[in-house]
Structure 1
């Protein structure tokens, strides 16, 4: 025989929900992995914050001052805090998605909490990228030469860094927002069906 139609209906109803859970889990894993790479960059940047270091420009007026090193450390610490917040929220959300029962997963309050946590995690990562980029501009000024010194190499490096990060964020943010809203709609559609 064909088996119990109610059982097969129940199984087919659970499949899209399980797929949504898997998508959430994979997205959260990817977010944590990316944050880990950025965190590594933070520590590389922190190792560059040394006072009295000469720039490659080899002109004393192009050497970075204490303000550059101080700003570098502050921005690196804020960047690290953002990536840490993003990763911890993503990990907590992954645990929630993994262990919650089907009824809890569909619950409107839990959907709102998941949506808020996902948005917090994504935006913390975005702000981490912004602070990391600002700190990398200070690394360029410390190593290559101050931007105020009109060092061509420093301007090229800073310009390329900012342009590439802006391009990356202009792709990442809209696609992530679209994925989050689509995911929320799919869960809501699944709830409305049942």
Structure 2
């Protein structure tokens, strides 16, 4: 497998994962957090979420969508630039602007592009996690009220997502330095 194929496969992976997360964001935005039937908390007995939590939920979804879209667009741009490169010698006597095989991928620019795309994906994941914390608070009650079910839902979320992001960043850093 050539280096170009590996780069294109990696960029395809970034775009595919971002697409799945973007779908999750749209599903989250389609849900109406102000619908009283969506809460599992009895307002008289529990600690229902305020409208501010619902506003934060929508804001975090929009931030997440923006980050995933940014990351995907950078990855698609890198993919197109990488596809323009044709293997083989690039020593031509007469160079014309329509000679696509003259394009050369600058490895530093490619690495920076990967890093920028990864930062967008990580930021989008963090915002999506924060949106999900707000979904839990709307459905199960505020975390500050000591709701056991809310903590039971949030603890794995804020444990596994950052752990996965650290592993992802570690691999991106490893690939960045190679």
Compute the TM-score of the two structures, normalised by the length of structure 1: 0.77
For residue 51 of structure 1, what is the aligned residue in structure 2? 34
For residue 105 of structure 1, what is the aligned residue in structure 2? 104
Q: Is the Cα contact below 8 Å between 1:137 and 1:158 reproduced in 2? A: yes
Deviations 1:121-162 (A, max 9, x none): 011000000010001000101111111221101011011111
Matches within 5 A, 1:41-190: 41-51=24-34, 53=36, 55-60=39-44, 61-102=46-87, 104-105=103-104, 110-182=106-178
Long gaps (5+) in structure 1: 1-17, 183-194
Q: Is the Cα contact below 8 Å between 1:71 and 1:135 reproduced in 2? A: yes
CA RMSD between the two structures: 1.7
Q: Following TM superposition, by how much is the alpha carbon of 1:101 offset from its aligned partner in structure 2, in angstroms?
A: 4.2
Partner SS for 2:34: coil
Long gaps (5+) in structure 2: 91-102
Q: Is the Cα contact below 8 Å between 1:53 and 1:64 reproduced in 2? A: no
Compute the TM-score of the two structures, normalised by the length of structure 2: 0.84
CA distance in 1, matches of 2:177, 2:12: 19
Partner SS for 1:62: coil
CA distance in 1, matches of 2:167, 2:147: 30
Runs ≥4 residues deviating over 6 A: none
Partner SS for 1:64: coil
Q: Is the Cα contact below 8 Å between 2:115 and 2:172 reproduced in 1? A: no
Q: Following TM superposition, by how much is the alpha carbon of 1:100 offset from its aligned partner in structure 2, in angstroms?
A: 2.2
